[in-house]
Amino acid sequence: MDIWMRENPLTYVWIGSYAVAFLVLAVEIALVVHKRKATLQEVRQLLDVEESE
Amino acid sequence: MFYPLAGKLVPWFAVSSAILFAVGMYLGFFVAPTDATQGEFYRIIYIHVPASILSMFLYLVMAGYAALGLIFNTRLSSMMASALAPTGALFAFIALWTGALWGKPMWGTWWVWDARLTSELILLFLYLGFISLHASIDDPRRADRASALLAIVGSVNVPIIYFSVKWWNTLHQGSTIKFTGTSMQVTMQHAMFTMLAACWLYAVAVVLSRVRSIILERERHTKWVAELPEVAL
């Protein structure tokens, strides 16, 4: 690992830090979008139940 | 008022953030010169430093909103605090992760129990504690109050992180960016501040999106939510 990182510093920096960081941010965006859809669906269901009552 | 405004602002912040990320990466990898002592490894700072700054800044903003919610009983403040915590935690994680990646080639180790690193790790635990405490209490108002106290007490840690390199003899280098200025090379500064702006805009976009979901969830029994076009679909 030590030898590889010194021979390929830019790959190490790219994959190790930037790819991981952007992956983390992408997962967060996906979770926020999912939460939004789930909440909207929940609210719609609640309103449907209230209407039918 | 806030809910539709936030909805309109999110795409602007998101697109601006994506553009600035692209520009910042270009400046950081193709324009900024190689560091004389650290070689190419120093390029980690373009994500490490903005993530560290954001992790501390977002904590203070979160604690501020939590305090407002606790003192004035304003619901939106507490919702903002809840929305800020996951993003702050992720930035703290990225700061620690990229710091470890930089530490290995520079210090010869992934981790040391240095004052700066340890206090940043405590910050991550404070974020996780805030999220866990909030999630563990069913009543949202009680959850807001309990987690607000934790956020306010934990804010003591932020100046400790910032000044740790001055107060203790740490392995972590001193601050390169200070309130009084910076000694960095100009192109490096441009890359750094562009990435900082990108991270800041990203955080605003994600937090506003998340707080909209929290508002919907908590206000679901109100008339204005029922009349929203996206709900009435």
Q: Using the predicted structure, report yes or no on whether residue B183 has a pLDDT greater than 80.
A: no
Domain assignment of residue B61, yes or no? yes
Q: Report yes or no: B199 and B14 within 8 Å, Cβ to Cβ.
A: no
Amino acid at B154: G
Q: Which of B39, B93, B217 sits opposite A24 (nearest CB)?
A: B93
Residue A1 counted as domain residue: no
The answer to whether B29 contacts A16, with C-beta atoms less than 8 Å apart, is no
Q: What is the pLDDT of residue B166?
A: 83
Interface contacts (A, B; CB < 8 Å): 78
pLDDT at A52 over 70: yes
pLDDT range class, residue B147, cuts 50, 70, 90 = very high
Residue B223 has pLDDT above 80, yes or no: yes
The predicted structure's pLDDT at residue B76: 92
The interface predicted TM-score of the complex, written ipTM, equals 0.91
SS3 content of chain A, % helix, strand, coil (to 5): 95, 0, 5
- DSSP letter (8 states) at residue B39: B
The amino acid at B160: I
* Chain A residue closest in CA terms to B202: A25
Q: In this structure, is residue A3 part of a structural domain?
A: no
User: Residue type for B1, please?
Assistant: M
* Distance separating alpha carbons of residues A48 and B156, to the nearest angstrom: 47
For residue B228, pLDDT over 80 is answered with yes
Task: Give the model confidence (pLDDT) of B118-141 as tens digits.
Answer: 999 999 999 999 999 999 999 999
- What total of structural domains would you count in chain A? 1
Q: Is residue B2's pLDDT more than 90?
A: no
The pLDDT tens digits for A1-51 are: 778 888 888 999 999 999 999 999 999 999 999 999 999 999 898 888 887
Residue B119 lies in a domain: yes
Measured CA to CA, the distance from residue B45 to residue B89 in angstroms comes to 19
For tokens 């981790």, what's the residue?
Answer: B111
Query: Mean per-residue pLDDT for B52-61?
Result: 96
Q: Among all residues of chain B, which has the CA nearest to that of A45?
A: B231
Decide: A26 and B214 in contact? Cβ < 8 Å.
no
- Residue B11 lies inside a defined structural domain of this protein: no
Backbone φ, ψ for residue B16 (5° rounding): -60, -40
CB contact B206 to A (< 8 Å): yes
B10 touches chain A (CB under 8 A): no
Average pLDDT (B156-182) is 80
Rounded mean pLDDT of chain B?
92
Task: Provide the β-strand partners of residue B26.
Answer: none
Residue B160 lies in a domain: yes
Q: In which domain, by residue range, is A40 found?
A: 25-53
The pLDDT assigned to A5 comes to 85
- Residue B219 inside a domain? The answer is no
CA distance B148 to B132: 12
pLDDT-derived band at B179, boundaries 50, 70, 90: low
Q: What is the mean pLDDT of residues B200-217?
A: 96
Residue B44 has pLDDT above 90, yes or no: yes
Separation CA A33–CA B171 (nearest Å) = 40
CA distance B27 to B70: 43
> Is B92 inside a domain boundary?
yes
Question: A10 contacts in B (CB within 8 Å)?
Answer: 29, 40, 43
Cα–Cα nearest to B51, from B97, B111, B16: B97
Query: Which residues in chain B are contacts of A8 at CB distance < 8 A?
Result: none
pLDDT at position B172 is 81
Q: Give the Cα separation of B119 and B187 in Å (integer).
A: 30
Residue A17 lies in a domain: no
Q: How many structural domains are present in chain B?
A: 1
In a domain, B153, yes or no: yes
**Residues B58, B87: contact at Cβ < 8 Å?**
yes
HSE on the CB side for A2, CA within 13 Å? 6
pLDDT for residue B54 is more than 70: yes
In a domain, B26, yes or no: yes
Which one, of B121, B63, B39, B108, lies nearest residue A13 by Cα?
A: B39
Q: Identify each DSSP E strand in chain B by its residue range.
A: 177-178, 181-182
Range of the domain at B116: 18-31+40-202
Q: What is the value of pTM for the model shown?
A: 0.93
* Centroid of chain to Cα B232: 34
Interface of B with A in 68-87 (CB under 8 A): 86-87
What is the DSSP-derived secondary structure letter of residue A18?
Answer: I
Helix (H, G, I), strand (E, B) or coil at B181: strand
